[in-house]
Structure 1
């Protein structure tokens, strides 16, 4: 099933983990503190059991996660003040799942599927550029947020 999704959606490995494909990039450009950016972008993003989206942040842009298919996904947000929140992205609103979750610009985020796979869409505004993507190592995050060390290390790539 997962291999078929990867093939049909033409997904490629993502540096933070999982698979993705950009599906939209606005032609309209905006000026940001980090330079000119597309007004918005969108991707498909697929996580499978045992594969996670490592702690990362998008500087200068908000990211909206949208549930599409599969099992629910835990989206972990680590705020600058050390507050950790976990939102469950999914279709069962009556069980507290949310069909979309906003990650404000600069907030550390990590994600993991709660089943075999989760397919989501992520839209970023202003548009995503890898120049605005940070994948900090576990030591740097633990130094700022030692109360969450176990989760930080479990969901870090380096």
Structure 2
């Protein structure tokens, strides 16, 4: 069997371009709504309890550094390894390696904590990675902030090279 291409998955899953890079499609949005009054102050309105998307990055693409107000659980589905760069609240750079080979330090799931800056890119030698992202409380663009290259690099000069490579 021939391995499906990235364009196959984009077509079959109905993925569209994402503002941060790559292609995505929402799969699930909980009907359970968490009222604003029950959420931390940085949420500006009611939120679905959880949301989920498919996300695909091909060779030469990247998801630019951004942050959201919720935890984001990443799931590996198909393709090649994906690197997820996370700058923690303490300023530490953590590189999560999503994939199907634990002998190479890859895992099927990883979590990016709420408020961390993060970006992703196919690992060297990867053609594409098909992953999923589950967010709780659910994703809303009101909670999304795309990093400004110079501002983030000035805040974390020890990570400036990666920040410059993975911002627009």
Q: TM-score range by the shorter chain?
A: over 0.9
Residue 55 of structure 2 is aligned to residue 45 of structure 1: yes
Of 117, 131, 138, 1:127 maps to 138
Match of 1:57 among 56, 63, 67: 67
Q: Tell me how far apart the structure 2 counterparts of residues 18 and 6 of structure 1 sit (CA, whole Å).
A: 10
Deviation at 1:80, TM superposition (A): 2.6
Question: By how many angstroms is 1:81 displaced?
Answer: 2.1
How far 1:94 moved relative to its partner? 2.5
1:62-73 alignment to 2 at 5 Å?
A: 62-73=71-82
1:96 deviates by 1.3
Structure number with greater Rg is 2
Q: Which has the higher strand share?
A: 1
Alignment of 1:92 onto 2:129: no
Q: What is the aligned-residue RMSD (CA, Å)? A: 0.8
SS at match of 2:152: helix
Q: Distance in 2 between matches of 1:102 and 1:2?
A: 24
Superposition TM-score, scaled by structure 2 size: 0.90
* 1:12 and 2:5 are equivalent in the alignment: no
| Corresponding residue number in structure 1 for 2:148 | 137
Residue number in structure 2 paired with 1:153:
164
Q: Which runs of 5+ in 1 are unaligned?
A: none
* Count of aligned residue pairs for this structure pair: 156
TM-score using structure 1 length: 0.96
Structure 1 segments of 4+ aligned residues over 4 angstroms from their partners: none
